[in-house]
Amino acid sequence: MKGLGTPLAIAAALLGSACGGSLEPSDLVGDYALTDVAGRPLPRLISATLTCDVFLVAGSLQLRVQDWSALDLVKQEDCTRGGGGIQLQPVLDLGVLRELGGQFYFETAHSLTDTLRFPLHVFRGTMRLEVDDPGQGLPGPLRLGFVFH
C-alpha cells in the first residue's frame, strides 16, 4: 500500500487496518489536521494559572517516512486576567515516524539527551497522538485528534 496519496485511499487503508490488516509506516504518510483535544473541539484549554489561560487553537501533523515528520501546533496565551495581553505561540516539533513492537510513535529529539516518544494510535480513519511535552508548554498527556486533509 505504498504511496496511497488520496484521502479516500488513506481512509480505506486505515479502516482496513482496523479490520485485521497490518499497517506499515508508509501507509500513514500524509498531512493531517488537528480536530480535537481529548475528543473536544478546538480551541481547547490546556493549562491555567492565576494570571493566564493557555489554549490549543490549531495544529497539523505531517508524517513522512524518508524525511522529517512535523508536529505543528498553535497555542494562544490569554494573560488579560493578569494585566497582560493575548499572544499566539507556534510550537513546532520535527521528528520521525517510528514503529516499535507493532506500535507507531512520533519521536522528537530536543537535545542529545532529551528524546520524546509520543504514541500514535490509528483507529477508523482517525489518528490520536498522545503528547506530553512540558518543555514546550504542552502538559499532558494531551490526546490530540487528527484527520487526513
Domains assigned to the chain: 7-148 (2.40.128)
The dihedral sign for the CA sequence 64, 67, 68, 74: negative
Angle at alpha carbon of residue 12, lines to 8 and 14, rounded to 5°: 120
* DSSP H or E segment with residue 8: helix 7-18
pTM check: above 0.85? no
Q: How far, in Å, are 2, 27, 28, 46 from residue 10 at the CA level? A: 10, 7, 7, 30
The residue behind cell 509506516 is: 25
Residue 62, SS3 per DSSP: strand
Angle at alpha carbon of residue 4, lines to 15 and 97, rounded to 5°: 80
Angle at alpha carbon of residue 43, lines to 37 and 46, rounded to 5°: 60
pLDDT on residue 113: 80
Residue 43 backbone dihedrals phi, psi, to 5 degrees:
-70, 155
pLDDT on residue 139: 87
Tens of pLDDT along the chain (149 residues)?
Answer: 444 445 545 555 555 444 556 889 999 999 999 999 999 999 999 999 999 999 999 999 999 999 999 999 999 999 999 999 999 999 999 999 999 999 999 999 877 788 899 999 998 878 999 999 888 888 889 999 999 98
Decide: 144 and 37 in contact? Cβ < 8 Å: yes
